[in-house]
């Protein structure tokens, strides 16, 4: 009997566990997280008109009663929401059209509140549990009876009447999520989003979090598995188009940060996310079978990496619509929460969904984007990535006198003298000389074809241009003097490894720019057009050798100063105390992106290198030892 009873208990427990698992599979919590700076903006938009900084609650023609509120600020104190308002008060006795015994006070009123959401209307309100008064120094204060009566009558009433209508946010979430499912599942997706209901509200350290409960049973399918299989031409085209839309969306949203003061760590996170996302896409394209969840996985990872940064900066200075900013964050967080349920959800990234998100954060300064995959230089992207202003079309350089080599200091002094003369209105050269020295954006490419009869002269000519370009990068970025010589070595070695010092080649009598075997990288420094999209002009990379050099030098400098040396400062990588290892690590990054940092150090530790690692090291040692004659091996053969 006891055994039978235990068996019944075990069966019941198992049944409850099965029901619990089904419940987990069929329900999801989608968070609406309102960070306090954004909550401030939402309340300001409900209290103040656009140009107002404060609200006048009492309009007394006699000026005997005055109540102004301003500077709403939310935070957390213990388990409650703390809402502070700056208050200016004046109260007196009105008699015979005059004001007697006026008393003024300025300070703060603090409300301790519990946030409440109406499940039918999705309106967020705040129930005041307690309040207190602080003086201008934020110290506990006391105000007279008439003034306190004004606070109770006007300020409390105003605060208790604050409502934030979350319907626009909820509707945007529903619209966004519905189009993130295949068209064949649209009806089921609509059923899912329409089941959305408000749940528990939490007052957190940095935000108010509202749980939105949604029944996902209409779209959840456990038989749906992650698969990899060859794509048809049509499917491959769709795959590429969707990824490009995603990349354009990331670039567009990063534009919202261009006016912000990003820290070095924040810029590095942007740098890593953008470049690694692009390098991994190129790797995926090279695979015979594409992962069908690849774009969605990349998008969710990118948002996970960057969401904290967007919320920190955009929350403080939202677009013209704080509600649009909240809908933007909430929709993407909801996608992330659904994605955590795995392939069974069947989510796909759609162009329509990303367009909706881009429009939510557009403002007067940045018109809504069509998310076209443009190769035009994007000044905002360059700024956020830490690249600064756009490269000049044809970088200035100083001609060397035949047979005379100028050292670095001499070149810098020459350049400074030229700038000073221009500032005071004196041209350092006559117009004829200046015209002769002006270098067109697209020179005759035949001037840069290797002369097989005089390879040494050709290599020296390219080296001089590389050094001049590297000089300009050094002047612009002022790298650590300890690594300046290493920078020059790496630049030469990269040019040797990537193109054997060539920008152009001649085939069947036609001169063309050099392009990599997979048609992604161009020119002497082999700049990858897709990886560095928006940061460099593709036509100039192809046809202007000096522009290509400048881009390559800038990328080397960026990896050296803002990545490798930054990692070295963490004192976690003793192997990088060897400068030769620094050079090899930097090339791995140049060739494969930031994700190669730890991968290359692992290869270095195991002494198991890629062929590209060994080939670069060979060129680097030749440069270091001045073995320039070996360039003939790749220029004309043994």
Q: Give pLDDT tens digits for 606-629.
A: 999 999 999 999 999 999 999 999
| pLDDT band (50, 70, 90) for residue 209 | very high
**Residue 19 is assigned to a structural domain of this protein:** no
Instruction: Answer for the pair 553, 534: CB distance below 8 angstroms, yes or no.
Output: no
Q: What 3-state class would DSSP assign to 240?
A: helix
Same domain, 407 and 533: no
| pLDDT band (50, 70, 90) for residue 402 | very low
- CA 582 to chain centroid: 27
Cα 153 from Cα 161, distance rounded (Å): 12
Q: What 3-state class would DSSP assign to 127?
A: strand
* Residue 427, pLDDT above cutoff 50: no
Same domain, 413 and 484: no
Cα 32 from Cα 23, distance rounded (Å): 21
Same domain, 253 and 338: yes
Alpha-carbon separation of residue 338 from 25, 29, 173, 306 (angstroms): 11, 8, 12, 18
Paired residues of 164 in beta bridges: 124
**Residue 267 is assigned to a structural domain of this protein:** yes
**Residue 567 is assigned to a structural domain of this protein:** yes
Instruction: Answer for the pair 142, 118: CB distance below 8 angstroms, yes or no.
Output: no
Q: What are phi and psi of 349, to 5 degrees?
A: -80, 130
Same domain, 292 and 374: yes
Q: Which of 360, 384, 408 is the last residue of a domain?
A: 384
The pTM for the full model equals 0.82
Instruction: Answer for the pair 528, 538: CB distance below 8 angstroms, yes or no.
Output: no
| pLDDT band (50, 70, 90) for residue 394 | low
Same domain, 374 and 413: no
Neighbour count for residue 285 (Cβ, 10 Å): 16
Q: What is the mean pLDDT of residues 415-444?
A: 48
DSSP E strand boundaries for 398-549: 504-507, 510-513, 521-522, 527-528
Helix (H), strand (E) at residue 59 = strand 54-59
**Residue 94 is assigned to a structural domain of this protein:** yes
Q: What is the mean pLDDT of residues 2-17?
A: 49
Q: What is the DSSP letter of 62?
A: T
Q: Supply the pLDDT for residue 61.
A: 76
Closest Cα partner for 162 from 36, 32, 46, 33?
46
Same domain, 445 and 424: no
Lowest-pLDDT choice from 67-71, 88-92, 549-553: 88-92
* Residue 541, pLDDT above cutoff 80: yes
Instruction: Answer for the pair 421, 523: CB distance below 8 angstroms, yes or no.
Output: no
3-state SS string over 368-384?
CCCCCCCCCCCHHHHHH
Q: Supply the pLDDT for residue 397.
A: 39
Same domain, 483 and 526: yes
CATH of the domain at 554: 1.10.530
pLDDT digits (tens, 9 = 90+) for 141-155: 888 787 888 888 889
pLDDT digits (tens, 9 = 90+) for 463-483: 999 999 999 999 988 888 899
Closest Cα partner for 541 from 553, 554, 531, 528?
528
Q: Supply the pLDDT for residue 413.
A: 55
Reading across the β-sheet that carries 197-203, which strands appear in turn? 27-35, 207-215, 197-203
Cα 25 from Cα 490, distance rounded (Å): 53
Cα 280 from Cα 39, distance rounded (Å): 37
**Residue 33 is assigned to a structural domain of this protein:** no
Instruction: Answer for the pair 534, 258: CB distance below 8 angstroms, yes or no.
Output: no
Cα 170 from Cα 174, distance rounded (Å): 6
| pLDDT band (50, 70, 90) for residue 412 | low
Same domain, 151 and 193: no
pLDDT digits (tens, 9 = 90+) for 329-377: 999 999 999 999 888 888 999 999 999 999 888 764 555 578 999 999 9
CA triple 611-615-619, angle to 5 deg: 170
Cα 442 from Cα 426, distance rounded (Å): 28
Closest Cα partner for 240 from 351, 353, 356, 370?
351
Cα 313 from Cα 255, distance rounded (Å): 12
Q: Supply the pLDDT for residue 249.
A: 95
Q: What is the mean pLDDT of residues 188-215?
A: 95
Q: Say what percent of the chain tops pLDDT 70.
A: 85
Query: Is the backbone of residue 406 left (phi > 0), alpha (psi -120 to 50) or beta?
Result: beta
Q: Which of 105, 140, 165 is the last residue of a domain?
A: 165
Query: Is the backbone of residue 63 left (phi > 0), alpha (psi -120 to 50) or beta?
Result: left
Query: Tokens 């509600």 sit at which residue?
Result: 323
**Residue 4 is assigned to a structural domain of this protein:** no
**Residue 31 is assigned to a structural domain of this protein:** no
Cα 370 from Cα 378, distance rounded (Å): 15
**Residue 28 is assigned to a structural domain of this protein:** no
| pLDDT band (50, 70, 90) for residue 453 | confident
Cα 115 from Cα 159, distance rounded (Å): 12
Q: Say what percent of the chain tops pLDDT 90.
A: 58
Q: Supply the pLDDT for residue 550.
A: 96
Contacts of 62 (CB under 8 A, 6+ apart): 94, 97, 98, 99
Neighbour count for residue 528 (Cβ, 10 Å): 22
Q: Which of 362, 384, 406 is the last residue of a domain?
A: 384
Number of residues assigned to the chain: 638
Cα 287 from Cα 250, distance rounded (Å): 24
- How many domains does one find in the chain? 4
Same domain, 224 and 342: yes
User: Which ranges constitute the DSSP H helices of 478-529?
Assistant: 484-499
* Residue 215, pLDDT above cutoff 90: yes
pLDDT digits (tens, 9 = 90+) for 101-122: 788 889 999 999 999 999 999 9
Query: Is the backbone of residue 404 left (phi > 0), alpha (psi -120 to 50) or beta?
Result: beta
Closest Cα partner for 598 from 308, 298, 291, 276?
276
Per-residue tokens: 540: 């100039």
Helix (H), strand (E) at residue 210 = strand 207-215
- The residue range of the domain holding 132 is 38-165
Of the two residues 76 and 3, the one the predictor is more confident about is 76
Alpha-carbon separation of residue 20 from 17, 81, 574 (angstroms): 5, 33, 50
- Average per-residue pLDDT in the chain? 85
Q: What are phi and psi of 95, to 5 degrees?
A: -150, 125
Same domain, 150 and 250: no
Per-residue tokens: 87: 């208050």
Q: Supply the pLDDT for residue 424.
A: 54
Instruction: Answer for the pair 162, 126: CB distance below 8 angstroms, yes or no.
Output: yes
Same domain, 136 and 223: no
Q: What is the mean pLDDT of residues 396-412?
A: 44
Per-residue tokens: 536: 């460099």
Same domain, 210 and 193: yes
Neighbour count for residue 318 (Cβ, 10 Å): 24
Q: Supply the pLDDT for residue 518.
A: 84
* Residue 638, pLDDT above cutoff 80: no
pLDDT digits (tens, 9 = 90+) for 557-607: 999 998 899 889 888 899 999 999 999 999 999 999 999 999 999 999 999
Paired residues of 35 in beta bridges: 207
Q: What are phi and psi of 377, to 5 degrees?
A: -65, 130
């Amino acid at each position: 009997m006891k055994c039978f009873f235990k068996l019944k208990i075990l069966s019941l427990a198992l049944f409850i566990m099965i029901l619990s698992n089904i419940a987990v599979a069929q329900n999801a919590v989608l968070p609406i997280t309102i960070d306090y700076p954004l909550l401030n903006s939402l309340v300001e938009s409900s209290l103040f008109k656009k140009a107002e900084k404060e609200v006048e609650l009492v309009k007394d023609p006699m000026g005997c009663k005055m109540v102004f509120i301003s500077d709403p600020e939310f935070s957390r104190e213990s388990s409650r929401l703390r809402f502070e308002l700056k208050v200016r008060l004046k109260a007196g006795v009105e008699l015979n059209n005059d004001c007697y015994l006026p008393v003024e006070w300025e300070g703060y009123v603090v409300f301790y509140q519990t946030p409440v959401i109406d499940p039918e209307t999705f309106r967020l309100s705040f129930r005041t549990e307690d309040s207190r008064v602080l003086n201008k120094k934020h110290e506990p204060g006391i105000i007279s009876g008439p003034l306190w009566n004004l606070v109770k009558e006007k300020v409390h009433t105003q605060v208790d009447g604050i409502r934030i209508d979350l319907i626009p946010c909820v509707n945007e979430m529903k619209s966004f999520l519905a189009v993130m499912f295949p068209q064949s599942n649209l009806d089921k997706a609509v059923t899912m989003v329409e089941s959305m209901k408000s749940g528990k509200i939490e007052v957190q350290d940095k935000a108010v979090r509202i749980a939105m409960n949604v029944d996902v049973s209409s779209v959840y399918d456990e038989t749906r598995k992650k698969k990899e299989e060859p794509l048809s031409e049509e499917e491959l085209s769709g795959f590429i188009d969707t990824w490009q839309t995603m990349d354009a969306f990331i670039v567009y949203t990063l534009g919202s940060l261009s006016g912000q003061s990003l820290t070095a760590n924040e810029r590095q996170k942007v740098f890593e996310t953008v470049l690694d996302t692009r390098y991994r896409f190129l790797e995926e394209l090279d695979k015979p079978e594409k992962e069908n969840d690849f774009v969605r996985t990349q998008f969710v990872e990118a948002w996970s990496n960057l969401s904290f940064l967007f919320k920190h900066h955009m929350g403080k200075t939202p677009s013209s619509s704080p509600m649009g900013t909240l809908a933007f964050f909430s929709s993407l967080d909801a996608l992330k929460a659904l994605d955590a349920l795995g392939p069974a959800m069947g989510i796909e990234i759609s162009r329509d969904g990303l367009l909706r998100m881009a429009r939510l954060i557009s403002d007067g300064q940045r018109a809504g984007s069509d998310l076209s995959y443009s190769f035009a230089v994007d000044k905002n992207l360059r700024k956020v990535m830490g690249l600064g202003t756009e490269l000049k079309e044809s970088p200035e350089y100083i001609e060397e006198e035949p047979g005379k080599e100028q050292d670095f200091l001499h070149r810098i002094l020459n350049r400074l003298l030229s700038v000073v003369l221009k500032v005071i209105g004196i041209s350092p050269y006559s117009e004829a000389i200046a015209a002769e020295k002006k270098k067109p954006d697209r020179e005759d490419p035949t001037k840069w074809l290797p002369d097989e009869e005089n390879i040494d002269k050709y290599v020296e000519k390219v080296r001089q241009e590389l050094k001049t370009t590297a000089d300009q990068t050094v002047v612009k970025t002022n790298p650590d003097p300890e690594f300046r010589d290493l920078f020059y070595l790496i630049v030469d070695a990269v040019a040797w490894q990537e193109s054997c010092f060539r920008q152009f080649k001649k085939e069947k009598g036609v001169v063309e720019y050099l392009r990599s075997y997979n048609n992604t990288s161009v020119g002497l420094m082999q700049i990858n057009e897709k990886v560095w999209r928006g940061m460099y002009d593709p036509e100039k990379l192809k046809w202007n050798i000096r522009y290509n050099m400048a881009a390559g030098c800038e990328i080397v400098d960026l990896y050296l100063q803002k990545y490798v040396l930054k990692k070295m400062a963490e004192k976690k990588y003793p192997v990088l105390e060897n400068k030769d290892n620094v050079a090899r690590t930097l090339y791995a990054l140049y060739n494969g992106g930031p994700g190669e940092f730890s991968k290359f150090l692992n290869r270095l530790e195991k002494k198991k290198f890629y062929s590209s690692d060994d080939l670069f090291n060979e060129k680097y040692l030749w440069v270091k030892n001045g073995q320039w004659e070996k360039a003939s091996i790749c220029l004309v053969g043994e």
